[in-house]
Structures are given as C-alpha cells and as structure tokens.
Amino acid sequence: MSRTVTLVLVDAAAPVLSEWCARWRAEAPGYEPERAVELLRSVVALRMAAVYAMFLDGIEASERVYHATDVDTYLEKAVAQVAASA
C-alpha cells in the first residue's frame, strides 16, 4: 500500500493505479478503489507538506530559498484535492 500512496500524486502513474484498482476489485468485489485513491490524494499532499516542513527545519538558511514554497505548494494541492473529491 505505501508504494501506491506515493504514486497518487503522479499523473504518469495512472496505468499502475488502474491495475492496482483492478486487482483490488478482483480481491474485494463491491468496493470502490478509485474512490479510495481520490481520497488518498489529499492525505498524500498533506504528508508531503509535513515532510517538507521537517526538511526545511533541518537545512541551512542558504538552502531554504530552493524549497521555501514547497510546504505551501503541497498544502494548496491538498485543498485542491479535497475540493475535487467532494
């Protein structure tokens, strides 16, 4: 599952996610794995925001400029994903 979670924000992963969903449906009929993937997108974005926040806490000030907007970017993605899945 953790590998799949890392893929939900990557558009190029659509074929992998499609296959994963098909296998899920085959093993557990009656569930909606595509809906689970959609809901996970906001969780993954929030996780990435937290990862970047911790990363920023540990790097030198001179390096912060390269990642200064990463936390906000992922927070915005999380909000967009929630809106899209509502």
Q: Token pair of 43, please?
A: 């969780």
39 contacts 6 by C-beta, under 8 angstroms? no
3-state SS, one letter per residue, for 41-58: HHHHHHHHHHHHHHHHHH
| pLDDT computed for residue 5 by the predictor | 57
Q: How confident is the model at residue 4 (pLDDT cuts 50, 70, 90)?
A: low
Q: How confident is the model at residue 1 (pLDDT cuts 50, 70, 90)?
A: very low
Phi, psi of 74 (to 5 degrees): -75, -30
User: How far apart are the C-alpha atoms of 62 and 2, rounded to whole Å?
Assistant: 33
| pLDDT computed for residue 66 by the predictor | 93
Q: pLDDT tens-digit profile of 17-76?
A: 899 899 999 999 999 999 988 888 889 899 989 999 999 999 999 999 999 999 999 999
How far, in Å, are 1, 3, 8, 34, 68 from residue 16 at the CA level?
A: 12, 11, 10, 12, 31
pTM, to two decimals: 0.74
